[in-house]
Amino acid sequence: MNIIITARKFKARETLKDHIKDEVKSLLKFNDSIISADVILSFLNSHESIKKAEITLHIPRQTLIAAEESDEFTKSVTAAVAKLLRQLKTLKSKRKSRAK
């Protein structure tokens, strides 16, 4: 899986990048056909204290998107990955129900 990390208007530290890669790679347990993930980190317009993480997950024939805001990038990334996990589980259950 290809993971692209974009930090808008700042330079992300290696520890943050490693955390992002670990979190996103954990999604492979639930769907091993993930092609790539785009992670965009940014500050909310006028609030430097609110940090936003947006993750776009590319899987065959679909794109899943999750965005979260909090006071730390690690919290935002973890919450966005949790949203993607729920989306992947829903997608899996829909595919199973169609296969019957």
List the one residue out of 1, 7, 100 whose CA is nearest residue 53: 7
Q: Using CA atoms, how far apart are residues 24 and 46, in angstroms rounded to an integer?
A: 28
Domain holding 62, by residue range, is: 2-99
Return all residues near 48 (Cβ < 8 A) that are at least 6 apart: none
pLDDT at 67: 97
Q: What is the CATH number of the domain that holds 11?
A: 3.30.160.100
- Measure the N-to-C terminal CA separation of the chain; round to a whole number of Å: 30
The tens digit of pLDDT for each residue in 51-69 reads 999 999 999 999 999 999 9
How many domains does the chain divide into? 1
Residue 59, helix vs strand vs coil: strand
Flag whether pLDDT at 70 surpasses 70: yes
pTM, to two decimals: 0.91
